[in-house]
Structure 1
Amino acid sequence: MRRPDAQAREILALAVPALGALVVEPLFLLTDTAIVGALGTDSLAGLGLASAVLSTLVGLFVVLAYGTTASVARRLGAGDRAGAIGVGLDGTWLALVAGLVVAAVGAASAPTVATVFGAAPGATDEAAVYLGISFLGIPAMLVVLAATGVLRGLQDTRTPLVVATVGFTCNALLSYLLTHGPGPLPGLGIAGSAWGTVVAQLLMATWLVALVVRGAQRYAVPLRPHARGIRLAAVAGVPLLLRTVTLRVALLVTTWVAAGTGGESLAAHQVVFTVWTFGAFALDALAIAAQALTGRNLGAGDAAGARRTTRRMVRWGIGGGVVFGVLLAAGSPWLPALFSDDGTVRAAVTAGLLVVGLTAPLAGYVFVLDGVLIGAGDGRYLAVAGLWALLGYLPLVAVVPLAGLTGTTGLVALWVAFAGGFMAARALTLGLRERSGRWLVLGSD
């Protein structure tokens, strides 16, 4: 068997730890769900409502990690490690400022936000408690995203994996103890779970910031905030935020349409969406490697190297999608039994998983190119491309309710529209941009 070459080893060295860190992230929510579930239905429902809000915030502000990774990697490629750490510090300061604003607004409006979903009073009250506390941890959460981006830009994805693993362990222990009470002491209920997560986030943020600060001191980089650098980081992040909004809107519309296809198909949609998300995590690890390597190559003025790395990662993305799709198709007859005892739900899940399996190679292609263009700092194009893809998707997904499709037929049509149509639109816009070469902008900025 031929040994992997240096480029392959470099991609794997970034992608594998990144995959581990991505897998750890949803374990935070799974652990809290298991701990809070023992409190009763109202508490579990309240956690579900609060998690929807917090997950949306994290999904939107993940651009802090993406934007910082690209900027830091460019400076590193140009041989300016001090400058790389400097722009990373600017991104971290921006995360702290944004986090403080969101925390202040969120903590004050938590009771109101909890009522938006129209849930039962008991669930709404529990959601308000969880949100009110969790919003206090938003600054730490956003700092973790930005500092993780700094380390990724410096070609280090192993340290974020270690920090995430330790943070997950602390979150599990603290949440359990504070929720149910250590020994004879009374538990705090759902508030204990929220406080456990906040403390774990503070620990992770402190750890990561300490590493960035140590690097800054080593290269004599000032730690004080720079208004211009923070402003530039914010301006650069706006297009990526818009790009992320288009993705979130597409996902929300998909779930909204699924709600109209019937109870069984909505339940099946949740299972299919969960499996699709798991596959997205795996494929997104390559996108993170693409961000770091593309930024570094372009910063070093190596357009040919950026092209070579992109071609290889695209092949790997498509290949990974093929492997995931084959495994999913093979497991589609029995996998639904892990999630439901309802025969109708199982049949719908099987059909939906087959659609996801068939379109997985397309998703792998899209995720990798998305990472390449983020690493190139091509945020403006990504925002416009995301808008066009969303506009093209809305008529496709509208066919489901307009045609009155329900049950398994409605679910299959919905996932053909999303995993096939929406992803195809993204593949077209991203593929054309990659072929044009206009993203190959060389230099440290």
Structure 2
Amino acid sequence: MGEHVGEHVGRAPLRQILALAVPALGVLAAEPLYLLVNTAVVGHLGAVPLAGLSAGGIVLAQIASQMTFLSFGTTARAARLHGAGRRADAVAEGVQATWLAAVAGLVITVAGQLLAAPVAGLLTGDGRVAGAAVSWLRIALLGAPLILVTMAGNGWMRGVQDMRRPLRYVLAGNVISTALCPALVYGLGWGIDGSAVANVAGQLISASLFVRALRAEGVPLAPVPAAMRAQLGLARDLVLLGLAFQACWVSATAVAAHTSAAAAGAHQVVFQLWMFLAFVLDALAIAAQALVGAALGANDAERARRLAWQVTGCGLVFGSLLGVVFAALAGSLPHVFTTDATVLAEMPGAWWFFVVLQPIGGVVFTLDGVLLGAGDAAYLRTATASGAVLGFLPVVWASLRFGWGLVGIWSGLSAFLLIRMVTVLARLRSGRWAVLGSVR
């Protein structure tokens, strides 16, 4: 069986990357696309609710980002086992990740209810915005265990190269959320709280489908402490990696919120578009992660290296195309999200950075997938922390001190991405990431 999988991986051409990336794109795009719809719905309530959504949303996003090992770490381990012909063991990684998700999600929900108010106040510096953020966040946090279970489900399914079922499951939840959001916000008059309720409803549907799929695999469902400890070993590096990202994103949101409600609203719109396109490009990274992990699990280092360079080229091309498209939409797309003149006036300070950075993001995000597929999280952690400490954070906080506004915030993001691009390309060229075996 291991030889059969190895031969299949060895034959994988560029079209196989795209065959895996297209359904992965649907999964990745579903949540940020819902958030864009959410932003548009809440944005028409005014600058204060939109700024509250920005603050509350960034906190919830950071919680999920700190738990990325449930998806990316599980994919890396499951892909190697799948490449070695050990499907049942690969699925078992998903069982243990789901247990970790459920426990961590409950802890986060309880802690979040207690900390929502002080965190929102720290981020916003405006009583009205903080009130809106707390109201949204306390409801949205009820979905934390569901978000994490869905992440674990995506992780093991990607590892065994099953990309179609996750697409169906995530779309089912997000379609419900998208339909409910305007009905609750406007129809029932729940305002910003309605968007949070719609979010939790969709997460419940998706998480339930992933749990049902795991039970249907016929593998033991009992928790195995030793297996969970092994997953937490990789989790350490991924959590630190996530902390570097979140220090940047939270700092950017806080600086925008302390600048003005209009700046915070404009940053919310452009940042959600940025995250949406990052997830679009991450579809290539997920395909690379699954295929590179399987190639290394099948002891085919040459195939893994070839895939890595192929996906890097794809990321550059797709990122460039996205930059062109959103440059053309600069005059019209912002008006879809808000009619507030003050928010629209702030938008150009971030928009053109967002456009120019797309090709760089295409290279960086796809190479993240390559290195995560190889289990090279320790190097990626250090590279990301270097970009945050040397590039993003000094510029962002200087922006607050000297009043540079959104131009300063997005200049920091540019420095961050350039540092990361140099470091991950250097790692790719070195070849030291290509460690063989079913488990790294």
State the TM-score, normalizing by the size of structure 1: 0.83
Q: Determine which of 212, 215, 231 is the counterpart of 1:210.
A: 212
The whole-number CA distance in structure 1 between the counterparts of 2:327 and 2:372 is 31
Alpha-carbon distance change, 107 to 197 in structure 1, aligned in 2, over 3 angstroms: same
The residue that corresponds to 2:137 in the other structure is 131
Equivalent residues in 2 for 1:147-158, closer than 5 Å = 147-158=153-164
Equivalent residues in 2 for 1:343-358, closer than 5 Å = 349-350=347-348, 352-358=350-356
Deviation at 1:9, TM superposition (A): 2.0
The residue that corresponds to 1:50 in the other structure is 56
The whole-number CA distance in structure 2 between the counterparts of 1:227 and 1:47 is 38
The residue that corresponds to 1:432 in the other structure is 426
* Pairing 1:71–2:77 present: yes
- Deviation readout 1:46-72 (Å, 9 max, x if unpaired): 555432321221222233111111111
Equivalent residues in 2 for 1:192-341, closer than 5 Å = 193-215=195-217, 217=218, 221-258=219-256, 269-332=267-330
Pick which of 389-398 and 233-242 moved more.
Answer: 389-398
Alpha-carbon distance change, 35 to 424 in structure 1, aligned in 2, over 3 angstroms: closer
Deviation at 1:268, TM superposition (A): 5.1
CA contact (8 A) 1:94 1:234 kept: no
Deviation at 1:191, TM superposition (A): 5.5
Deviation at 1:147, TM superposition (A): 0.6
CA contact (8 A) 1:385 1:430 kept: yes
- Which structure: larger Rg? 1
For structure 1, the 5+ residue unaligned runs are: none
Deviation at 1:309, TM superposition (A): 0.7
CA contact (8 A) 2:44 2:337 kept: no
Higher RCO (CA 8 Å, separation ≥ 6 residues) = 2
The whole-number CA distance in structure 1 between the counterparts of 2:401 and 2:200 is 46
The whole-number CA distance in structure 2 between the counterparts of 1:381 and 1:391 is 15
For structure 2, the 5+ residue unaligned runs are: 1-10
Amino acid at match of 2:207: A
Percent identity, aligned pairs only?
42
Pick which of 82-91 and 248-257 moved more.
Answer: 248-257
Q: Determine which of 9, 24, 31 is the counterpart of 1:25.
A: 31
- Deviation readout 1:314-368 (Å, 9 max, x if unpaired): 1111111221223334444555565677999768745644444333222211111
Deviation at 1:120, TM superposition (A): 6.3
* Pairing 1:90–2:77 present: no
The whole-number CA distance in structure 2 between the counterparts of 1:105 and 1:425 is 34
Alpha-carbon distance change, 426 to 169 in structure 1, aligned in 2, over 3 angstroms: same
Alpha-carbon distance change, 121 to 65 in structure 1, aligned in 2, over 3 angstroms: same
- Deviation readout 1:52-103 (Å, 9 max, x if unpaired): 3212212222331111111111100011111111112111111111112112
State the TM-score, normalizing by the size of structure 2: 0.84
- Deviation readout 1:276-328 (Å, 9 max, x if unpaired): 33322221111111111111111111111101111110111111122122333
The whole-number CA distance in structure 1 between the counterparts of 2:234 and 2:140 is 28
CA contact (8 A) 1:239 1:383 kept: yes
Pick which of 269-278 and 67-76 moved more.
Answer: 269-278
CA contact (8 A) 1:321 1:364 kept: yes
